Amino acid sequence: MPFQVLSSPHDHPARPVNRLMLQVLLALIPAIAIITWFFGFGLLINLTLASATALLAEAAVLRLRRRPVRPALFDLSALVSAWLLAIAVPTILPWWMVVLGSLFAIVVVKQLYGGLGYNPFNPAMAGYLLLLISYPMEMTQRLSPSIPREHMPDLLQSLQISFLRVIPPGTTWDALTGATPLDELRTKLAMGLRVDQIHSGSFWGHLTGQPWEWVSLALFISGLWLIYRRVISWHIPLAFLGSLSALAFLFFLLDPQRYPVGFFHLVSGGTMLGAFFIATDPVTASTTPLGRLIYAAAIGVIVFAIRSWGGYPDAVAFAVVLMNMAVPMIDHYTQPRVTGHKRRLGP
């Protein structure tokens, strides 16, 4: 009887890629629920648009590349990119911008480099940056969570905003939108106010606006769950959050008038999403343990630098994509010492 001959090991019980991706998607759901609650149904519209675009684009390009379509669609990686992009952009973004960002992320950033595993840049963040640089106005116009709940656009009104740019009657764009805490801080500091003066406004929760605190908390807990499930390793979140808070704390100590308390940065903008869901993208992050610490710590530094002294209120996307570029070099110089060899620098 001839037997099947395969190379050892004869068992590969590891969780397949699509299970890992599925867990990332599941981990995003609490945050999605909270964002929808505070920032409207626009997120669900964005999620739908981005997901459909990503899947269709992935299928189309794979067809053109004469590659099998089904395995790639079912690995769920396109969906993860789509969701991250949808969560990162404002909930009242015009529909075609969501589609454009998602299309760019999948077609150019991912598939043109060879598909899953070959892209040097994080697709969701590259898509986000394309939109941010091209349409800075729309990309910074966010629905204000502090508008009264009865004026919150419902699903139909959200669809009208997204597709027709028509806002509910009796309101204005200015009334509907508001600054994020990072924006607020930046603008007021530029106006010469001190941090404690800014902070006393009604706008603030404990540290930032309460909605952002809730979203950050949800992402933080989900992120811990991903670490617990070993979907991501602890290195990147720890180093990213660690370097960002260390810098923030240091500058707060030096000049509390101009720099908010360190913890502020952790619950603002894209920090938590970046730390647990974006910088941890295995394809584009550094792969060695030491390299991950360096990579993520550098992201934290860049985020702090851009937020404090740069031209944009938030910087997670820039920091991640910039450090994506440095990954090959970081990996090269942080190889672990192979057992039985003496330590050396690089190969």
Partner 1 sequence: MSLPRDLSPSGRRLWRFHGGVHPPEEKALSTAAPIAPALIPDRLVLPLQQHIGAPAQPLVAVGERVLKGQLIAQADGAVSANLHAPTSGQISAIGEHPVAHPSGLNAPCILLEPDGEERRAELPEPLADFAQRDPGEVLARIRWAGIVGLGGAAFPSAIKLAPGPDLPIHSLIINAAECEPYISCDDMLMRRDAAKLVQGIHILRHVLGVTGECLIGIEDNKPEAITALQQALAAHAPAHTELVVIPTLYPSGGEKQLIQVLTGQELASKGIPAQIGMVCHNVGTAVAVADAVLRGIPLISRIVTLTGRGLAQAGNQEVLIGTLAADLIAQRGGYRPGVTRLIQGGPMMGQALHSDQVPLTKGANCLLAPAPAELDASAPAGPCIRCSQCADACPVQLLPQQLYWHTRAKDMDKVQDYNLFDCIECGCCAYVCPSHIPLVQYYRFAKNSIWTQAEEKRKAEHARQRHEARQQRLERVERERKEKIRQKNEALRRKDKPGSDQGKPDAAGNPSGNEAETDPKKAAIAAALARAKAKKAALAEQGVQPKNTAELTPAQQRQVEAAEKRRAQAASQQESE
Q: Which residues contact 144 (CB under 8 A, 6 or more apart)?
A: 176, 177, 178
Question: Of the listed pieces 83-91, 152-160, 210-218, 279-287, which binds partner 1 according to CB under 8 A?
Answer: 279-287
For residue 142, the cross-strand partners are: 178
Is 211 one of the binding residues for partner 1 (CB under 8 A)? no
Q: How far is the CB of 240 from partner 1 (least distance, A)?
A: 17
Of the pair 71, 256, the CB lying nearest partner 1 is at: 71
Of the pair 107, 116, the CB lying nearest partner 1 is at: 116
Q: Are 129 and 318 spatial neighbours (Cβ–Cβ below 8 Å)? A: yes
Is 8 one of the binding residues for partner 1 (CB under 8 A)? yes
Of the pair 115, 300, the CB lying nearest partner 1 is at: 115
Is 344 one of the binding residues for partner 1 (CB under 8 A)? no
> How many angstroms separate the CA atoms of 25 and 3, rounded?
40
Q: What SS3 class is residue 178?
A: strand
Is 3 one of the binding residues for partner 1 (CB under 8 A)? yes
Q: Are 130 and 100 spatial neighbours (Cβ–Cβ below 8 Å)? A: yes
Of the pair 80, 98, the CB lying nearest partner 1 is at: 80
> How many angstroms separate the CA atoms of 272 and 110, rounded?
24
Of the pair 151, 230, the CB lying nearest partner 1 is at: 230
Q: How far is the CB of 65 from partner 1 (least distance, A)?
A: 13
Of the pair 36, 287, the CB lying nearest partner 1 is at: 287
Binding to partner 1 by CB under 8 A, coded x per residue (else -) over 116-135, reads xxx-----------------
Could you say which residues in the range 232-261 bind partner 1, by CB under 8 A?
Answer: 233
Token duo for residue 197:
């003066």
> How many angstroms separate the CA atoms of 249 and 194, rounded?
17
SS (H, E, C) 96-164: HHHHHHHHHHHHHHHHHHCCCCCCCCCHHHHHHHHHHHHCHHHHHCEECCCCCHHHCCCHHHHHHHHHH
Q: Are 132 and 317 spatial neighbours (Cβ–Cβ below 8 Å)? A: yes
Question: Of the listed pieces 85-93, 218-226, 250-258, 330-338, which binds partner 1 according to CB under 8 A?
Answer: 330-338
Q: How far is the CB of 239 from partner 1 (least distance, A)?
A: 15
Q: What SS3 class is residue 177?
A: strand
Q: DSSP code of 335?
A: P
Could you say which residues in the range 296-325 bind partner 1, by CB under 8 A?
Answer: none
Question: Of the listed pieces 46-54, 134-142, 308-316, 333-341, which binds partner 1 according to CB under 8 A?
Answer: 333-341
CA-derived radius of gyration, the chain = 21
Q: How far is the CB of 106 from partner 1 (least distance, A)?
A: 15
Q: Are 89 and 139 spatial neighbours (Cβ–Cβ below 8 Å)? A: yes
Q: How far is the CB of 58 from partner 1 (least distance, A)?
A: 13
Task: Kindly report whether the peptide bond that precedes residue 13 is cis, defined as omega within 30 degrees of 0.
Answer: no
C-alpha triplet 22, 54, 45: angle, nearest 5°: 85
Binding to partner 1 by CB under 8 A, coded x per residue (else -) over 51-90, reads --------------------x---x-x-------------
> How many angstroms separate the CA atoms of 280 and 267, rounded?
18
Could you say which residues in the range 11-50 bind partner 1, by CB under 8 A?
Answer: 11-17, 19-20
Binding positions for partner 1, rule: CB under 8 A: 1-17, 19-20, 71, 75, 77, 115-118, 233, 282-283, 285, 287-289, 331, 335-341, 347
